[in-house]
Amino acid sequence: MTIPTAHGTFTSHVVSLKKRKTTPCLFLLPTLYAVIAHTLLPDTDSDLKKRWKRKRMEKTKRKPWFWIWATASIIFRLILIYFPRNLNLSSRPEVSTPLTSLRRLAEGYWLKQASMSPYAGSMYHGSPLLLSILGPLTVKRIEGQPSNLLCSLLFVIADFISAMLLRATGQNLQMAYNKSMKSLGLVRPLESSEVLSSRDIAALVYLWNPLTIVTCVGSSTSPIENLVIILSLYGASSGLVPLAAFGWVMATHFSLYPAILVIPVILLLGYGPDAPPRKLFLQGNSDKIGDNPSTDSYYQHKEVTNQPAVPIIFSWKPVLHFLLWASIWSFYVLVLCGISVRKYGGLLEMFKRTYGFILTVKDLSPNIGVLWYFFAEVFDFFRNFFLIVFHVNILFMILPLAIRLNHRPCFLAFVYIAISSMLKSYPSVGDSALYLGLLGLFVHELADMKFSFFLFCGYVGVSLLSPVMHNLWIWRGTGNANFYFATAMAYACLQIILVVESVSAVLNHDRMLRKLPITKP
């Protein structure tokens, strides 16, 4: 058996299932279901039937539990949608940034309807495609219903799909992980004790995260941006190259920052989903040289029982496919955009108004990031310098992280998203919702993360304090910009701690994996 590549995982599992399990009932089950079942089955099992039944019982017990909560979250959103006026979330700076505000989109659509460029004036800075999809929905009104009902419904659907894709990605990860663990001969220490699989946790965290709910209800286009990012990750993790390319191209088109996700996606396609460090497999191979006498006996034992681990090769084929598809999709998107902005200054104008707006931080209205206040205060002749510094800060960490975490592309994607949502020019809680959802996928790896309680409290505290400070400053006039900026600063610090601690926790986890064989025999 080979170490799974993105392609290999899925098919090899199904094939092996079919080979091994001859029970007729299995053939009737949907493939996906079978795969889930397979991942949950311990391999060293003789009495298949019994175990299978037991697992199914467990699942039937467990599954409705997940679905109940998922539906509950959808219903909760639907209830909240009916009170947009009372909640007034759409104008919160935490929810809608100049890039994602639906109100600005409606203005852009109005301008376009008045045969003006949607980018005329400094209102709309989003994609022209989003404009033509969401624009008509902002105008359409159902009698007696809140004005943005249709858009909100769309966002609820987008949220739900995101959660499901997150779950599917989690499942891919889990499967691949179990596979590689098996090939290493390690039984996952946590598997027996898990109540809820990490994929369900991720999906539920995404669905029930108050930040996600607020973003969804508060009429901003972030749910759609999050959806395409997750779509890209899902496509890459399950080997669907066109889907991955599509997600990546759309995400980049919508908000530029996901462009850096090209590295995790390529790694995901090249090496397959997250696995323990490749050195472990290499060690297994180089055992014969015997530079590590303490593990000798174990590895020899392993080699008897299991197939020897073949060193992982970076498979170029899906990557090349991805690049091809990405260029096809981007060409397609550019053609579509070109058609829709043809009369209004063409693509150059579009890039200037979307990417240019993101990169030059022209809008200084307060948000939960730190750049607005920085650029409102900084001296004009330093402005360009600091613009470069802050954007290079994102780019600077790409390479070190990619080198260190190249065996965990999904986690790498999470770190990239977290870093960019911390340093991006117009951050909103929607970005945090995305990376917190992805965080759920790595629950087991991050189990011994430090400061997690502190971080949780910090997030709660900042999300309570920030609106209060905003209210004091903007509405009451009793506060000061510095108070609000302080909460933004605290939020940035929390994100920094989260990123640093999660990276160090994962690296420690990998170290522990390496030590595990030593302690085990």
Partner 1 sequence: MALLLRPIVSFLFFFATIAYGSVIEEEEFSEELLLKPLPDRKVLGYFHFESKAPPTNTYGRHHRLFPKAIYQLVQKFRVRELELSFTQGRWNYERWGGFDPISSSNAKPPGVELWAVFDVPEDQVDDSWKNLTHALSGLFCASVNFLESSTTYSSPDRSFRPFSGSLRYGTLPREAVCTENLTPWLKLLPCRDKAGLPALLDRPSIYRGFYHSQWLHLTSTESGSVGVESGIVLEQTLTVVLQPNTQRTSKTYSSDAVIQPSWSVSSIFGRKVSGRCVLAKSSNVYLLLEGGLVSEVKNLQKENEKSGAGSIAIEGFWSNPGFELSVIPDRVIKEVSSLHSKSSSVLYEFLIEKYSDSKPFDLGFTWKLPVVWSCPQAPLHASRFLMGSGNERGAIAISLKSTELSGGILGADIIEDSCRLRVDVFQVVPWYVKVYFHTLQVFVDEQPQTVTDVVEKIRVSPSEDKISPGVMEMVLKLPCDVKTAALTLEFDKGFLHIDEYPPDANQGFDIPSAVISFPDFRAGMHFLEDNSSNNSPMLSKFQERSPVLSYSEVLLVPLTTPDFSMPYNVITITCTVFALYFGSLLNVLRRRVGEEERLLKSKAAKKTGRLPELLSKLSAKLRGRPWEPPQSPSTSSSLISRKLIFKVTLVAGIAAAWQYYSG
Footprint of partner 1 (CB under 8 A): 91, 103, 106-107, 109-111, 114, 116, 120-123, 291, 362-366, 370, 372-380, 390, 393, 396-397, 400-401, 404, 422-423, 473-475, 477, 480-482, 485, 489, 492-493, 496, 499-500, 503-504, 507, 511, 514-515
The least CB distance from residue 200 to partner 1, in Å, is 29
The least CB distance from residue 317 to partner 1, in Å, is 25
Q: Which is nearer to partner 1, 161 or 497 (CB)?
A: 497
Q: Which is nearer to partner 1, 31 or 504 (CB)?
A: 504
Using CA atoms, how far apart are residues 65 and 428, in angstroms rounded to an integer?
A: 31
The least CB distance from residue 180 to partner 1, in Å, is 20
Using CA atoms, how far apart are residues 474 and 40, in angstroms rounded to an integer?
A: 53
Find the length of the chain. 521
Q: Are 103 and 138 in contact (CB under 8 A)?
A: no
Q: Which is nearer to partner 1, 355 or 374 (CB)?
A: 374
Q: Which is nearer to partner 1, 93 or 440 (CB)?
A: 93
The least CB distance from residue 357 to partner 1, in Å, is 9
Q: Which two tokens stand for residue 213?
A: 């709910």
Q: Are 140 and 150 in contact (CB under 8 A)?
A: yes
Q: Which is nearer to partner 1, 248 or 375 (CB)?
A: 375
Three-state DSSP state, 18: helix
The least CB distance from residue 505 to partner 1, in Å, is 9
Contacts of 479-485 spanning 24+ positions with Cβ under 8 A = 481/366, 481/373, 484/366, 485/370, 485/373
The least CB distance from residue 230 to partner 1, in Å, is 24
Q: Which is nearer to partner 1, 99 or 244 (CB)?
A: 99
The least CB distance from residue 346 to partner 1, in Å, is 18
> What residues have CB less than 8 Å from 453, skipping those under 6 apart?
none
Using CA atoms, how far apart are residues 512 and 447, in angstroms rounded to an integer?
A: 12
The least CB distance from residue 277 to partner 1, in Å, is 10
Q: Are 253 and 128 in contact (CB under 8 A)?
A: no
462 by Cβ neighbours in 10 Å (0-12 / 13-18 / 19+) ranks as: buried
Backbone angles phi, psi at 220, to 5 degrees: -130, 160
The least CB distance from residue 294 to partner 1, in Å, is 11
The least CB distance from residue 44 to partner 1, in Å, is 29
The least CB distance from residue 473 to partner 1, in Å, is 7
Q: Which is nearer to partner 1, 33 or 385 (CB)?
A: 385
DSSP assignments along 379-440, one per residue = -GGGHHHHHHHHHHHHHHTHHHHHHHTTT-HHHHHHHHHHHHHHHSSS--HHHHHHHHHHHG
Q: Are 215 and 146 in contact (CB under 8 A)?
A: no
Q: Which two tokens stand for residue 131?
A: 């404009």
Radius of gyration, CA atoms only, the chain: 24
Using CA atoms, how far apart are residues 141 and 132, in angstroms rounded to an integer?
A: 17
The least CB distance from residue 145 to partner 1, in Å, is 17
- Give the number of other Cβ atoms within 10 Å of residue 306's Cβ: 15
Using CA atoms, how far apart are residues 131 and 118, in angstroms rounded to an integer?
A: 9
Closest CA to 104 of 86, 91, 88, 87: 91
Q: Which is nearer to partner 1, 23 or 384 (CB)?
A: 384
Q: Which is nearer to partner 1, 200 or 274 (CB)?
A: 274
Q: Are 142 and 207 in contact (CB under 8 A)?
A: no
The least CB distance from residue 341 to partner 1, in Å, is 16
Q: Which is nearer to partner 1, 123 or 231 (CB)?
A: 123
Q: Which is nearer to partner 1, 13 or 391 (CB)?
A: 391
Using CA atoms, how far apart are residues 475 and 126, in angstroms rounded to an integer?
A: 28
> What residues have CB less than 8 Å from 19, skipping those under 6 apart?
none
The least CB distance from residue 296 to partner 1, in Å, is 16
Q: Which is nearer to partner 1, 334 or 378 (CB)?
A: 378
Q: Which is nearer to partner 1, 33 or 396 (CB)?
A: 396
Using CA atoms, how far apart are residues 125 and 119, in angstroms rounded to an integer?
A: 7
From residue 313, how far is each of 165, 269, 317, 458 by CA, in Å? 27, 12, 11, 42
Q: Which is nearer to partner 1, 233 or 371 (CB)?
A: 371
Provide the residue type at 46 as one letter.
S
